[in-house]
Each structure stands twice: as structure tokens, then as C-alpha cells.
Amino acid sequence: MSTSKVTYLGNLRTECEHLKSGNTYITDAPTDNNGKGEAFSPTDTVATGLANCMLTVMGIKARDLEVVLDGSTAEVTKTMAANPRRISKIEVQLHLPGGVSEKHQKILENTANTCPVHHSLHPDIEKVITFHWGS
């Protein structure tokens, strides 16, 4: 069974549907590549997917450790390169709660750094991950 369906709507915009849930989102080409930049670009979704995955697997591990990560955030910065046009760097600043033991912090950081998206990204993409505990 397919995971998603992407429909080209014209004007460099797509609608993406998650088939199991019916949830949708749109993408636009970025302003630096002929687009309107009114929504996530396809490369934005890739970079953001890294943070989504990191927080999700940390949440799974945190539940096992009885650590509460609710309210944690990640700020993502994507850098593009040319020839060929591609993502060259993804920076993720994770802001996590205080009161987590150093042992659990290390376990959760390792979990984040070994998430499926991290392992799926091309090794030439520089990944700069920073964990801010207690922020």
C-alpha cells in the first residue's frame, strides 16, 4: 500500500496527502528557485523531517525511561548548494526540558543521532545537531 499521494496543483505547488489518515499539506517552490515561498519547499520538508524524526524517536525512548519531553522544540536551518542544487547542511537546535539526568540525556541524544532519517540522509549533507537541555 502506498504511503502518500502528491498532486501537482500548478504554479510550482503540490498537495501532499498521507493516505492512511487523509492529512494534507502543501509545498511551494522557494523564492530563490522561481517560487512563491508561501509554504514549505520540498527541501524544507526533508530538513524538517530530520527534526521530526529525532524528536519522535526521543519521545519513544523517553517514554521507556519515564522522562517527559512534552513541549520540546527543534529549530531547523537548511543551507542549499548549487551544481547540482541540493541540501548541503542541516542544522538542528533542540530545546529540551531541564531536570533530566546526565545519563538519560546521553541516551536520548544517542537515540536522536541514530534516527532513521539521520541514517537515510546522504553522508555529504553536513548535519550540525545541538542539544540545549533546560531551555
The answer to whether 84 and 22 have CB atoms below 8 angstroms apart is no
Domain count, the chain: 2
Angle at 134 between CA 129 and CA 135, to 5 degrees: 70
In this predicted model, what pLDDT tens digit does every residue of 94-133 receive, in sequence order?
999 999 999 999 999 999 999 999 999 999 999 999 999 9
Are 103 and 83 found together in one domain? yes
In this predicted model, what pLDDT tens digit does every residue of 39-52 receive, in sequence order?
999 999 999 999 99
Are 89 and 121 found together in one domain? yes
Helices 102-113, 42-65: crossing angle, 10 deg rounding? 140
Q: What is the pTM of this model?
A: 0.94
Are 119 and 77 found together in one domain? yes
Q: Is the dihedral of CA 89, 119, 53, 112 positive or negative?
A: negative
